[in-house]
Amino acid sequence: MTSVPEPTGFVPPPYPFDVPADVVRTASAIDGGAVDLSRGVPCDPVPDVVAAALAEPDPARPYPPSVGTPELLDAAAGWCDRQLGVSLDPLSIGACIGTKEMVTGLPHLLRLRNPERDTVLYPAVSYPSYEMGAVLAGCRAVPVPMTADWRIDLSAIDEDDASRALCLWVNTPGNPAGALDDLGAAAEWGRGRGVPVVSDECYVEFTWHEPSRSVLQHGLDGVLAVHSLSKRSNLAGLRVGFYAGDPDLVWYLRETRRHQGFLIPGPAQAAGAASLRDQEHVEVQAGRYRRRLESLIEVLATRGLSASMPEGGFYLWITAPDGDELALTRSLARELGILTSPGTTFGPDGAGHVRIAAVVPDEQLALVRARAGLT
């Protein structure tokens, strides 16, 4: 019998957000068990408008349109107009199955379109999937250094890398540090070099000191914004998102993705449209995240740890004493029973920091506060 040869190509690395088993055991040993603050997984109820949309009978039995139903695209265009002040033709918008598949799949499609380029640029401290998307496409993944206040440093991009770049990813508000980039400068940088600038804006409605920022506010030429309903509307399980921007690029992605068969189920698209038309539930959710961030800042202060409100998003990015982020994750598990993410999850330049997600049910947050000696 002929044996199957051992694979010689890509081997998936460990999933970056898996918390080490010993840390989980330590936190779980505390009375009340572990409280997971390591991931930004929505935990609050689905908005009433979405629940109502999902309860409607679905009369459409055919396959839903890959590009998005007219209802969803119209709702996305209306949201962009109201929230961002950007007027878009629905033809400049396409639907995606959440946004993670877009993040990891986009480099492959861009390389098919522009095969002489082979590089993906992304923030050096950021969501790990930007790098993984490059790897899965067989591209060079080139991290762009950050400034001291955790913004992408466009001046640090090597021009040789720029000449080979399929795209530049930016993320505002940033994950993990919550900083706001100058998206106008990013768009200008890309246009000057013929590099599409792709802006991951899944936290766009959670900015704490100023209005929302979008790369679309600086013109559509050469830019793409990627939006998720998972965070704003607690719809992570429905996998609804959209992308918008440069008409030629959007047309290419819509048509290519149709061939791939990327389809959001019809009921999920209806729920997504209902979500985008309602802003009240987002304001309620933003209030929850603000209160939780402020509460966790108080908790950390009881352990001598300094944290401040991010410019946006719902994460706290704290400096580890003596620069040892692994020791800090273990001490937080031991003393408070919380699970957190070491900074190196987001790239080597994140060393010496820990990310804490303010995404936790209120009753679990109350438990953490009690462990910290707070009421």
Mean pLDDT of 77-89: 96
Return the domain boundaries, the chain: 21-45+281-371, 63-277
* Share above pLDDT 90 across residues of the chain, in percent, rounded to a whole number: 82
Give 58's pLDDT tier (boundaries 50, 70, 90): low
Residue 125 pLDDT > 60: yes
Give 61's pLDDT tier (boundaries 50, 70, 90): low
The whole-number pLDDT of residue 106 equals: 97
Mean pLDDT of 110-114: 97
Full-model pTM: 0.93
Q: What is the pLDDT of residues 262-282, one digit of tens each?
A: 999 888 999 999 999 999 999
Q: Which of 299, 288, 289 is nearest to 366 (CA)?
A: 299
Q: Positive or negative, the Cα torsion across 31, 32, 34, 37?
A: negative
- Name residue 234's amino acid: N
First-to-last alpha carbon distance for the chain, in angstroms, is 68
Residue 2 pLDDT > 80: no
Which ranges constitute the DSSP H helices of 94-173? 100-113, 129-136, 159-163
Q: DSSP secondary structure string, 78-94?
A: HHIIIII-----GGGEE
**Range scoring the smallest mean pLDDT among 16-20, 188-192, 212-216, 286-290:** 16-20
3-state helix, strand, coil in the chain (%, to 5): 45, 15, 40
Buried b (16+ CB within 10 A) or exposed e, 187-208: bbbbbeeebbbbbbbbbbbbbb
Mean pLDDT of 336-344: 96
Task: Say which CATH superfamily domain 21-45+281-371 falls into.
Answer: Aspartate Aminotransferase, domain 1 (3.90.1150.10)
Per the omega criterion (within 30 degrees of 0), is the bond before 176 cis?
yes
Given a contact cutoff of 8 angstroms between Cβ atoms, the answer to whether 241 and 229 are in contact is yes
The whole-number pLDDT of residue 72 equals: 96
Rounded Cα distance between 193 and 203, Å, is 27
* Residue partners of 356: CB distance under 8 A and separation at least 6: 37, 296, 300, 307, 315, 316, 318, 338, 340, 341
Q: What is the pLDDT of residues 130-187, one digit of tens each?
A: 999 999 999 999 999 999 999 999 999 999 999 999 999 999 999 999 999 999 999 9
Q: What is the pLDDT of residues 216-235, one digit of tens each?
A: 999 999 999 999 998 888 87
The whole-number pLDDT of residue 24 equals: 93
CB atoms within 10 A of CB 344: 17
Give 238's pLDDT tier (boundaries 50, 70, 90): confident
Given a contact cutoff of 8 angstroms between Cβ atoms, the answer to whether 282 and 288 are in contact is no
The whole-number pLDDT of residue 237 equals: 79
Given a contact cutoff of 8 angstroms between Cβ atoms, the answer to whether 234 and 42 are in contact is yes
| Cα 24 to Cα 34, 177, 338, 340, distances in angstroms | 7, 24, 9, 10
Is there a shared CATH topology between the 21-45+281-371 domain and the 63-277 domain?
Answer: no
The whole-number pLDDT of residue 375 equals: 80
Determine if residue 261 is left, alpha or beta; phi over 0 gives left, psi from -120 to 50 gives alpha, anything else beta: left
Residue 73 pLDDT > 90: yes
Rounded Cα distance between 70 and 252, Å, is 18
What kind of architecture, by CATH, is found in domain 63-277? 3-Layer(aba) Sandwich (3.40)
